[in-house]
Amino acid sequence: MSVKLSSYVWDGCASAGMKLTSVAIMARLADFSNDEGVCWPSTETIARQLGAGESTIRSAIGKLEQEGWLTRQQRRSGNRNASNIYRLNVAKLRKAALSHESDSDPSKSDASKFDGSKSDASESSKKQEFHPPESGGDPSVTSKQEPSVKSKPLCQVAGQPDPEVVLTEQARDVLTHLNQTTGSRFTTNKTSLEHIRARLREAFTVAELKLVIDYKTEEWRGTEQEQYIRPKTLFIPTNFAGYLQRAGNWDKAGRPQRINGRWSKPGERVITEIDTPDQSTPAGFRGA
């Protein structure tokens, strides 16, 4: 976390006429950044922490980039996408913050017109004495405290989360949904989680992975394909994009049921199969 950049954001961005959403995004990026303004939180993380939609965050970041407040760089890990690297424009933030400070410079107040030469010398000497209880920690007062020591901010902000830890927690969430939907008992071992983590690294969302689970479960349940409702098959890289596209269409259609190898139509009544009653006469009764 860069306290310096956070200060620049709060002092400069709002005074520059920036919208509240953009100010909040800049503040969150500053929290994640080092003093050079470099950080790499995912869009999903920023959206979750600010309580906004991912599309809103992407649009706002795009506008901030156009206005020169930051730059972003896409990065890849092998053939997989990773979160963007953001670099805040420290020079522009500093300039905006200093401009704000000059507009509110206390030296322009009437207090600057006070002529110290007209005051009583004894009173002046008394004011130069250091009294800790009365100074209130004012850094302008000569004291034994090192001037470079800065007080801690009132609100401590969490540091930059490890992207791999975030991916693992998201993968656990997806695997739990798979077990609950299918009644399976897949464990959170490396093999099961890695197939899920791989798709998350490619910028697919947790909601999209869960949608594929729901769709393929409805399509394959009660068929020979049911045995393939597992992470290795559902999240295979060559098929996942196609699964997701069909799952999206299925979701838009109202998530119809799969009956006797076909999808039910809107408004169609689903009739479950009724077993044929046993008409034989129980032993001990006449006619047996």
Amino acid sitting at position 67: E
pLDDT at 241: 92
Indicate the SS3 state at residue 259: strand
| pLDDT, position 162 | 80
Domains of the chain: 3-94 (1.10.10.10), 163-263 (no CATH)
CB 171 within 8 A of CB 200: yes
The low-confidence residues of the chain, meaning pLDDT below 70, are 1-2, 76-81, 100-160, 267-278, 284-288
Separation between Cα atoms, residue 67 and residue 104, nearest integer Å: 25
Nearest in space to 44 (alpha carbons), one of 176, 200, 154: 200
* Amino acid 122: pLDDT: 43
Distance, CA of 145 to CA of 136 (rounded, Å):
13
pLDDT of residue 210: 94
End-to-end CA distance of the chain: 86
CA angle 243, 247, 251 (to 5 degrees): 175
pLDDT, residue 77, reads 58
pLDDT, one tens digit per residue, over 40-85 is: 888 889 999 888 888 899 999 999 999 999 999 887 655 566 788 8
- Cα–Cα distance for residue pair 18/221, rounded to 1 Å: 52
What pLDDT does 7 receive?
Answer: 83
